[in-house]
Structure 1
């Protein structure tokens, strides 16, 4: 395989990326576009419109609301003629111990991390089935399998996303559609900004606890997304690829 093949690994493909305004989502949009894909960039934050260009169609939408997934798929098909890739990246996190959680906070956590991914996966699979090809990549977490105090709702949501990935993978592969996930560790993004001013610094510091000794840059995760979305990962079905700097490796 030549370097040019790798660089153009998603050339001619059409993708939807949720949570595209910043962080991992924005890095994924930029990398897929660099490598030849056309992208619907979806986010509830209107700043996603800053990504608009030839080959990137922004969509301001709440992924948890009925009709948003359908709108994203329709935009991909009408603007770019098809849908080949879905990246369920949108996510949020709540730090609060279980006994302090309200029902509203629990629902708030689940809606984006699980329900939004379900709705978009369902509609994307419907669109891909007619072409008998496609790739779905879910941004899960090392918290899909491991936990620490204060993230019960988040860990539950990411565990559900991992299982959603595996189940859909089995249902979709007879139609030529692969579903996989990434077990992401600490990445320096704005995901904590809604409840602490030092969110990026905290993620960088917490990432230092991983064996690798640091948090990830969003581009590092985007590289794995591009691989899983491409034909280079053609034999990968229902995998949760850990990209957490060794955080999930048991220490003897």
Structure 2
């Protein structure tokens, strides 16, 4: 690894949602280790455990009005600017469509899509005067491929991919690059609320990918860091697939 790679986000200021665990926590820690300042946002109060010089925790529900505005204000108040937004916060339910309630649907869509929309809108306002910035959305191979019983999740990730593309077109002229990561199975706590061993399920399901395993959160964080950096200066409106080859196989 070259010194430029190590310092690729040096002195950048980021907001990372869903920061208390999994991909979000790994991203916060990697960005900070490489010299970035971070607002770490999560609905889980355990996000406060990330507090240290250069990391400011913020407990909030990303889907609620005012949360995005407060997160951006914290970045500006504490660090004077905003360079990067990582929309990572996500929820999932496992329910067939015919049994899915409106509450189930909204539970997923409000966090996965509305939260990303609200935070992107406010981040773009802060980045535009500086004519620079990056937004990285944590999408999924479920942005393109369907799985039974997770219609709300697949719909939300499909919408997030389209939000990425549209924002990229709107913000490119302002020097702001918008991209997404199409992550596959990553060993996180995403499924913990709905099954006894969510991490074990993701580990096992990941074995179905051509690479033969699930990813660790740190592997996705590496892609976030790259997309945030000047090394990715010509990548605009892309969904960078990081799914161990799941999306290119036919079974």
Please give the TM-score of this superposition, normalised by the length of structure 1: 0.98
Local SS of the residue matching 1:140? strand
Local SS of the residue matching 1:214? coil
Partner of 1:236: 235
Local SS of the residue matching 2:23? helix
Q: Give distance in 2, aligned partners of 1:242 and 1:166.
A: 15
Q: Give distance in 1, aligned partners of 2:60 and 2:92.
A: 19
Q: Give distance in 1, aligned partners of 2:150 and 2:194.
A: 14
Local SS of the residue matching 1:178? strand
* Superposed displacement of residue 129, structure 1: 0.2
Matches within 5 A, 1:6-155: 6-155=5-154
Residues 69-106 of structure 1 show CA distances to partners (whole Å, capped at 9, x for unaligned) of 00000000000110000000000111111111001100
* Superposed displacement of residue 250, structure 1: 3.5
The count of corresponding residues between Structure 1 and Structure 2 is 251
Gaps of 5+ in 2: none
Partner of 2:245: 246
Q: Give distance in 2, aligned partners of 1:132 and 1:31.
A: 25
Give RMSD over aligned pairs. 0.8
* Superposed displacement of residue 197, structure 1: 1.2
Local SS of the residue matching 1:186? coil
Gaps of 5+ in 1: none
Q: Please tell me whether the aligned partners of residues 19 and 40 of structure 2 are also in contact (alpha carbons under 8 angstroms).
A: yes
Q: Give distance in 1, aligned partners of 2:94 and 2:16.
A: 25
Q: Please tell me whether the aligned partners of residues 210 and 249 of structure 2 are also in contact (alpha carbons under 8 angstroms).
A: no
Local SS of the residue matching 2:126? helix
Q: Give distance in 2, aligned partners of 1:229 and 1:177.
A: 10
Q: Give distance in 2, aligned partners of 1:218 and 1:145.
A: 21
Residues 13-59 of structure 1 show CA distances to partners (whole Å, capped at 9, x for unaligned) of 00000000000000000000011100000000000000000000000
* Superposed displacement of residue 251, structure 1: 2.4
Q: Give distance in 1, aligned partners of 2:86 and 2:43.
A: 15
* Superposed displacement of residue 213, structure 1: 0.5
Q: Give distance in 2, aligned partners of 1:189 and 1:147.
A: 20
Q: Give distance in 1, aligned partners of 2:218 and 2:28.
A: 10
Local SS of the residue matching 2:178? strand
Local SS of the residue matching 2:119? helix
Q: Give distance in 1, aligned partners of 2:21 and 2:86.
A: 14
Q: Give distance in 2, aligned partners of 1:95 and 1:183.
A: 20
